[in-house]
Amino acid sequence: MGRSKREILSSIEELVREYYSQVHGDGLGGTGEIRGGGKDAEIPYAGRVFGHEELNAAVRSSLDFWLTLGEQGEGFEREIASYLGVRFSRLVNSGSSANFLAVGALTSSSLPEGLRLVGGGEIITCAAGFPTTAAPILQHGGTVVFVDVDPVTCNVRLESLQEAYREGKTRGVILAHGMGNPFDIGGVLDFCRERGLVLIEDNCDALGSRYCLGGGGEGDGEMRLTGSWGDLSTQSFYPAHHITMGEGGLVSVRQDVRLMRIVESLRDWGRDCWCATGVSGTCGKRFGWSFDGLPDGYDHKYVYSHLGYNMKPTDWQAAIGRVQLSRLPEFIQARRSNWEYLRSGLDELQEVFEFGLPTHAVERIGDGEYRWDSSGSRSEPSWFGFMLLVRPNSGLDRVELARYLTERGIGNRMFFGGNLMRQPAFSDFAKEHPDRVRVVGDLQGADRLMRDGIFIGVYPGLRRSDLDLMIDTITRYVRGIGGRK
């Protein structure tokens, strides 16, 4: 008599654990001990951190051979919606797709005319950041309105929103939480609510960040996760982000069933039916609907109410994501601890670098301790990286610093696209379609981030020895060892 299914699966899982131990070792992709100092021991700015549990989850899902989004995906959507404190979450194939669908939802004919991104509709966003926060506005036929950024917080200058607003034209705001640092949610919410605008939170770099709304208004004193404040929010599960599915992303809807239906339809080929893949008759009248132009009783599974796409990930990716989600609290704590360790270790370099502050903080007074502004609001970042903002007239060349760190195996990055209006894709588009791109102000903050900003890693795979080497290398460069001009 052969072995049972359970016995076979147990043997497979044991082999996977053994494979993980031999090939991946510490969960850092098989790189072994990360020491820095050379090509074969690079300290990356970001990376995946995983155990044998993720491998086994992927293998079990693959053995089921459902493959397309199914039970694991539904489980992940429920769990992350519960974690964020939102009503709905829908998985997609990337964070970029998530932003594309969130903005695309505003084009739906099922929305009131005043909310739709049609007829010259505009959406406000930051000029500095990752391009796929802004590109969907143009891809959906809208006008992008760029406003400036505070280079210290890496977030929108709140006062620029009012200048950017045009009655009858502005439909919404989409903003990323820069470097995992929440933007001024209280101020942005007030701006949007007073004008009936949709708020989309790009939470791709900030999973686990929290914000407390002050000022005696709604939600005063409640520390809530970013991704739970906007009408829609987005996540990315690319390996550089807080948890990973390899590729993958998510659109969450705080409350509105109508918006959820639109997002789901756009993701799933544009169909009107809301049944999960492989399920029929959820509505109870699959052949009882009536639509103009279609025969009465036309199969609801083949009725299309939007010009949609297929942007679903696979079920085995979702299986990995569920395990990663269970690790999120320790990942968040590691990011915060690593950021504070770097901040303390580099404190003596304040004459050269202007260090970041959590939004609403006006001064750092100790490890993890801050003096706050008078708004009553607070922020608690789940940091994506550690920003080094070179002070003007410091004598330090950011490009040379980046080259120096790279040569010594320390991963570093610019603030993504910097000032997007200086990127060829956006500047060329603006020349060809001047009515579709509007710039508010001189964008000096975005220019400064592009010119003077560089960030290094805080991801959970970094060891204390890695952080010490990063601090020592930067300090040696600044103090004149290593070719500082």
CA-CA distance, 423 to 26, in Å (whole number)? Answer: 38
Using alpha carbons, list the distances in angstroms from residue 220 to 73, 183, 214: 34, 17, 5
CA-CA distance, 200 to 147, in Å (whole number)? Answer: 16
**CA torsion through residues 405, 330, 210, 173, sign:** positive
CA-CA distance, 415 to 303, in Å (whole number)? Answer: 43
* Active site (catalytic) residues: 241
Is the distance from CB of 389 to CB of 368 less than 8 angstroms?
A: no
List the one residue out of 362, 141, 160 whose CA is nearest residue 173.
160
Bridge-based pairing state of the strands 210-212 and 223-225? antiparallel
**Intra-chain end-to-end CA distance of the chain, in Å:** 76
* Burial annotation 181-207 (CB, 10 A radius, 16+ → b, else e): bbbbbbbbbbbbeeeebbbbbbbbbbb
CA-CA distance, 104 to 381, in Å (whole number)? Answer: 28
Torsion-angle region of 214 (φ positive above 0: left; ψ -120 to 50: alpha; else: beta)? beta
CA-CA distance, 337 to 351, in Å (whole number)? Answer: 24
CA-CA distance, 376 to 225, in Å (whole number)? Answer: 17
